[in-house]
Chain A
Amino acid sequence: MNKIDTQLILSAQQGDMSAFEQLVYKYDRQVLNIAKSFNNNDEDAKDIYQEVFIRVFKGLKDFQFKSEFSTWLFRITTNVCISYHAKKKEMDSIDKEIGSDGEDGYTLGDSLASDSKTDSVAINAEMAEQITQALEQLPPQQRMAFTLKYYEDYKITEIADMLRCSEGTIKRYLFNASNKMKMKLKNLLY
């Protein structure tokens, strides 16, 4: 383990808040980026950020240096992202039921087939929105693996570490997620 991290963790375990702050500032940008990539929402990303570091603060006294601090931190991050997403989905489910108008199978191609003229900026924004919507339909584990690979460019071994799975499982998540996403976005590709 990184010597600086070890010293900071030991000091923080003794109650040194400034050491804990330094530890937070070293990794918090990555945590926020993972949360933002997963949810594509600043407010949700901030909530996840708070939850992650509060858990780290409470659990740091039991940290036994069996793994890298960053690995442990990102595991907590992915867990919190997934559980936050599940809670939010439950809260939104009633709204979705009320608002549903039978749009199964809707793709961006259908909307772009209309006669309305849009400039390239609007098209890109719409594309990003449709990718996000397609991503939201993936199961949380697949979505997390997809986000960490495509958006954060982590290696498969690193993702396996974070999600506490084997590399084979992560590959399966990635292939399944990629195939589903490719199907949903097929009209954008041609």
Chain B
Amino acid sequence: MSKDFFDIKRSSAIVTLLLLFVGFFGFKLWYVMSDQSFSKKDDTEMFWTEGAFQYKIAKLLAFTGGIPTHYSDAQYPEGLEIKKKITVLMESISGYIYRTFVPKNIPFHLFLAVFICFYSSFSIFPVYLLSALLWNNRFSGLLSSLFYATTLASSSSSLTHAYIKEDFSLPFIFFHLYFLILGFKRQKFDYTFLSGAFLFVGLASWHLTQFFYLIVVVFIALNFIIKENFREEIRIFSVIVLLAIFAGLLVPTLRSERFLFSNSMLLSYLLVILGFSFKKASWWKKLASLFFILGAGLTLKILLSPVHIKEYSHVYTLMLNKITYLGVKPEDPSSLSWEANVMWTTSFMSPSIKEIYYFFGSLFPLGIGFLLTSILRFIKKRQHQGESFLIFFSLSFSILYLLIIRMDAFLVYFLSLHTGLFSKVRRAILFILLIGLGLNLLILTTEKIHTDKPMPNYILTLIKYVRDNTEKGASFLTTFSLGPSLFAFCDRPVLLHSKFEDYRLREKVKEFEHTLFEDENTFYHFCRKYEANYFVYTTSILLSTGVESIRYRTDNLNLPKDCVAYKFHFRPEELKRFRLVYTNPIYRLYEVLEEGEVRGEIDSPYFRPYDKKFFKEEF
């Protein structure tokens, strides 16, 4: 028996961490299962938008074992190149585990609810490991893990039945970071190899990982410029680059979008080349070389491989506009491009003060406090080894979070790591940290978690109607957020969905949203062009006027009264090419008539949202 085996401190830290994991997982599971809207028996409308889309793929895999490379029902009629456009690792693992190991009397969605809670809790391990490594203190690791587990930002998506990629990928990304720092610290290639392997999984499972990787590369580049001797680190980093190249070659989604020509990869190649070329050079010389070659590389990329830019133009445009307008959407929608407009919604909005408090609780002020302390220590050159890494990532993600609320999943990780700094400053701060932990626990257990999902009863009744009253192969046109629900829970072909990775889909959504404010004939021709049999109108198309609304992003805040959207809402009896077949207070289902088909009489029940007298001023 080795001496380490009997190391009481180490063993108790491991046991505490395992208990913490069980607690974290157990809390999520309890929360999900005790939710009054959660059904253990029926999956209808359990997931929404992106989550519904992914659920359909996973369920298909669970029950048939395979998915088509070209799926026409997912993006009717042209079809979606799933293999090339969608990362299916999360769905594949969920589906195959269920198919292989889970008894079929347990419904798939029930298994999935448990499985999501399980894998999303794994992040707690890299939090502990990295914090303990950075601060060289196991208690720091445990404290960071505790903060991570009790802060709502780390679990809000898994608590609200969201089946999203980030919950699956984040543990891999965090392990990648841990082994990267460990590799740098111990100057060992094997750890870096493992780090690269985790990055490989991250890249293969979530599109956004490559943007995270860009930040990692920028950090390496900064170190390369600032530090006099960074040659060994670059050598170690080259292993990561090599594995990223493998990912770019072997992962179909990365291959199709030319990841190897992405900005992050171009910078990576450059760093490796310069790292091996310069034995010793002044910082300005390195900076100048970096800029010169990178500039040339980017120009070449634009000329030779525009695919990557086109596929991710929505992300780049969004970021550019976010920076231009300092995170606040302008009042005049025409000053933004449509791509930036459509992306700049829900989880891509900037957080309000209330949301910062709600999602971070005490971690935000405490983490920022520690970040500032770290910066002071850095200035005084008293920082701990690896602290500069944390400063860079915490600062980067604080800024990114203020621009995009979805970045909270990363920021909560880095701010939690920062709390471990207490072991290097005054221990008295521990008391404040414990109070902070208490506050976070209070928020976690008492606050009701908000979701973007609309009222479930109305989606449910719409789904039931579509299932019972429309033909199996009938295709449906509706907003990109509702489309996946019809695709997943009605098993009907849909024209639009929320996986914006496909450039053609974004163009189609743009055309759809603009055509809604044209006349009936133009909209009808759009429906015929894409072979839509039904159109599901949602009241938000006309009634919402906020910065996230369709009217805002199509620059139709001044509504043309003769547009088809107005008729879909207030005057269905005036429509000649669409027949109203179902109404509830939020959704209206229209049948797209054949050329020359007569509409006939319509009989629709009364609902207030369609009564013009309630909207006297605006309409």
> Are A and B physically bound partners?
no
Residues of A at the B interface (CB closer than 8 Å) are none
Residues of B at the A interface (CB closer than 8 Å) are none
